[in-house]
Amino acid sequence: MKGVMRLNHANLSKSSCNTGGIVTREDLKNYEPVLNESAINFIVGNYRFYAPDAPFGGPVLALILNILKGYNISSSSVSTTENKTLTYHRMIEAFRFANVQKGKRPLSSMCPTIILDKHSKVKMVVGGAGGTNITTSVAQVILNYLFFDYDMQKALEEPKVQITINEANVDERFEKDNILPTSDQDM
């Protein structure tokens, strides 16, 4: 409690509330920390996922992967340019949908995740850095490794797509065939 009191009465609250942000002094004064020591768990395919609950990125990751599960994501999803383009379109839309579903509490994108196989053996432990892009980057590495059958090195190095409220940002290393229309008729 002493740390909470120190935060509420610190000069930080005065200076941070005068920078044009959305957090007010009243928000800081009324803030109640919530301690949640349990992880959410969910199943996608043959894998059980353990990730931190809200306000961290676990629920967003779960929503993204569950949306994409409906498309039977597999290595064939990226086997041709046409399939890969469709798959990335679906991923971007899943990212957009999941990211507007955030609750009222500030959401951290951190989502360290432990993934077990059908025999309850650890298959993958994944997390990342990158601010607001963490959850979607982690989702892409998981998809690349577990569902697209890339080796770990390729799963990590594969170009990423990221979303903001109004646009999709595509890694410059992404194959142009997968992001650009192939003819004037496609525009």
Copy the structure tokens of residue 101: 């579903």
Out of 74-83, 146-155, 178-187, which region has the weakest mean confidence (pLDDT)?
Answer: 178-187
Place of tokens 């951290």: 108
Query: CA 127 to CA 111: how far, in whole Å?
Result: 6
Assess whether 25 and 77 both reside in one domain: no
The tens digit of pLDDT for each residue in 14-23 reads 555 556 667 7
Same domain, 144 and 61: yes
| Closest to 64 (Cα-Cα) out of 117, 105, 111, 123 | 111
| Claim to verify: residue 150 and residue 175 sit in the same structural domain | yes
Strand spans (E) along 18-148: 39-44, 47-52, 113-116, 122-126
Per DSSP, the chain holds a count of helices (H) and strands (E) of 7, 6
Full-model pTM: 0.74
Same domain, 64 and 131: yes
15 is in an annotated binding site: no
Tell whether residue 108 is among the known ligand binding residues. Answer: yes
Which residues are CB-neighbours of 107 under 8 A, at least 6 positions away? 54, 55, 56, 57, 60
Provide the strand spans (E) within 28-187.
Answer: 39-44, 47-52, 113-116, 122-126, 161-163, 168-170
Q: Same domain for 92 and 172?
A: yes
Q: For residue 112, is pLDDT > 50? A: yes
Tell me what the pLDDT averaged over the chain comes to: 81
Whether pLDDT at 8 is above 50: no
Is residue 11 located within the same domain as residue 49? no
3-class DSSP state for residue 105? coil
Quick one: 72 and 3 in the same domain?
Answer: no
The pLDDT of residue 157 is: 93
- Report, as an integer, the average pLDDT of 80-100: 91
Q: Is there a contact between 77 and 84 (Cβ–Cβ < 8 Å)?
A: yes
In this prediction, residue 183 carries a pLDDT of 42
Host domain of residue 92 = 39-186
Give residue 181's pLDDT. 43
Domain count of the fold of the chain: 2
* pLDDT interval class at 177 (50, 70, 90): low
Q: What is the pLDDT of residues 118-139, one digit of tens each?
A: 999 999 999 998 788 899 999 9
